[in-house]
Amino acid sequence: MNKNLKLGPIVGKINEVDIYANQLMRKGSSWAGGGNTPSDGNDTNINNDPIRKLTNTAKSIVIYWSRSGSTELLASKIINKTNSDIFEITVKDPYPANYVKTRDRANFERESNTPPELDLILPDLSQYDTVFLGFQTWAMTLSQPMKAFLLDYGDRLSDKRIAPFETQGGYGSGDSIDLMKEILNQNNTFTSPLIVDGNRVDDANSKVERWVEEVEESKI
Ligand SMILES: Cc1cc2nc3c(=O)[nH]c(=O)nc-3n(C[C@H](O)[C@H](O)[C@H](O)COP(=O)(O)O)c2cc1C
C-alpha cells in the first residue's frame, strides 16, 4: 500500500482487511446531502488488493463496488449476517480521491455512455441462489462501475435472486433500481433494496438485520 495516502480512521473490516470511510465523520450540517457530498477518500480499489472470499459452500455472494468506503462498510455488515462469499468489483483506472475530479470523470462517462473498464475475472456463480449487489447513487442513477458490471456480466446473473443495497448522499436513489432491472432483464427476482445514507452506515445495524431477514424470508 502507498504510505502517502490519506486514509482516515479505520471503521470496520471486510475479510480481515481494514475499511476506511471518511464520510462517516460528516454529520449534521457538514453532510449537505447529495449535491454537496464531498465523499473524499481514496478509491477502495487503490487502498488494498481486491476483496475476495470464495468458498464451495456459500449459497449467496456479495458483489459490490465502493469508492469512498461507505458501501464497502455496508457490504461488511451484510456479510456478517449472511456468511456470504465476497467479490469486490475493481476498475482498471481507479477514481481520484478528490470528489470534484471524480464527479467530472463520472459525468463524462455517463454523458458519453462509456462506463469504466473493469479489471476482474468473475468466478462461476452457479452455486449461488442469491446475489447481494452493492453500489451507490451517482447523479441520481447507478454509479458508473456498477453500470459497467451489469452491462459486462449481467447475463451471468440470470435466474438469481438479486438483493440490491446502496448508499447515497441524501437525495434518494433516482432511477438506480429501475436501470438495474432494465439492464439485467434475465428472469431475476428482486428483493426490496436496502438504502442507507453514506454517512450513516455505522448506525445501520438494525436496519441491515431487518432487511437481511426480509431477504431470507423471500426465499420461502
Ligand atoms: C460522482 C458522485 C456523484 C454522486 N451523486 C449523488 C446523487 O445524485 N445523489 C445522492 O444522493 N448522492 C450522490 N453522491 C453521493 C454518494 O452516493 C455517496 O457519497 C455514497 O455513499 C458513496 O459510496 P461509497 O463510499 O461506497 O463510494 C454522489 C457521489 C459521487 C462521488
Q: Whose CA is nearest to atom 16 of ligand 1?
A: 168
Q: Whose CA is nearest to atom 15 of ligand 1?
A: 169
Q: Whose CA is nearest to atom 6 of ligand 1?
A: 138
- Whether 22 is in the pocket of ligand 1, judged by its Cβ within 6 Å, is no
Q: Half-sphere exposure of residue 3, counting CA atoms within 13 Å on the CB side?
A: 0
Sign of CA dihedral 104, 109, 115, 116: negative
pLDDT value of position 216: 93
The backbone region for 204, taken as left when phi is positive above 0, alpha when psi lies in -120 to 50, beta otherwise, is: alpha
**Overall average pLDDT of the 173-183 stretch:** 96
- Whether 105 is in the pocket of ligand 1, judged by its Cβ within 6 Å, is no
pLDDT per position as a tens digit, 101-116: 999 999 999 999 999 9
- Whether 170 is in the pocket of ligand 1, judged by its Cβ within 6 Å, is yes
**Overall average pLDDT of the 11-40 stretch:** 75
Phi, psi angle pair for 66, to nearest 5°: -150, 135
| Residue 212 three-state SS | helix
- Whether 173 is in the pocket of ligand 1, judged by its Cβ within 6 Å, is no
Q: Could you state, in order of their start, the residue ranges of all structural domains in the chain?
A: 10-217
**pLDDT surpasses 80 at 2:** no
The one-character DSSP state at 84 is -
CATH number of 10-217: 3.40.50.360
**Cell numbers for 95:** 477514481
- Whether 147 is in the pocket of ligand 1, judged by its Cβ within 6 Å, is no
pLDDT per position as a tens digit, 136-155: 999 999 999 999 999 999 99
First-residue to last-residue Cα distance in the chain = 44
Q: Whose CA is nearest to atom 9 of ligand 1?
A: 34
**pLDDT surpasses 70 at 3:** no
Mean pLDDT of the chain: 89
Ligand 1, closest atom to CA 134?
A: 26
pTM exceeds 0.85 for this model: yes
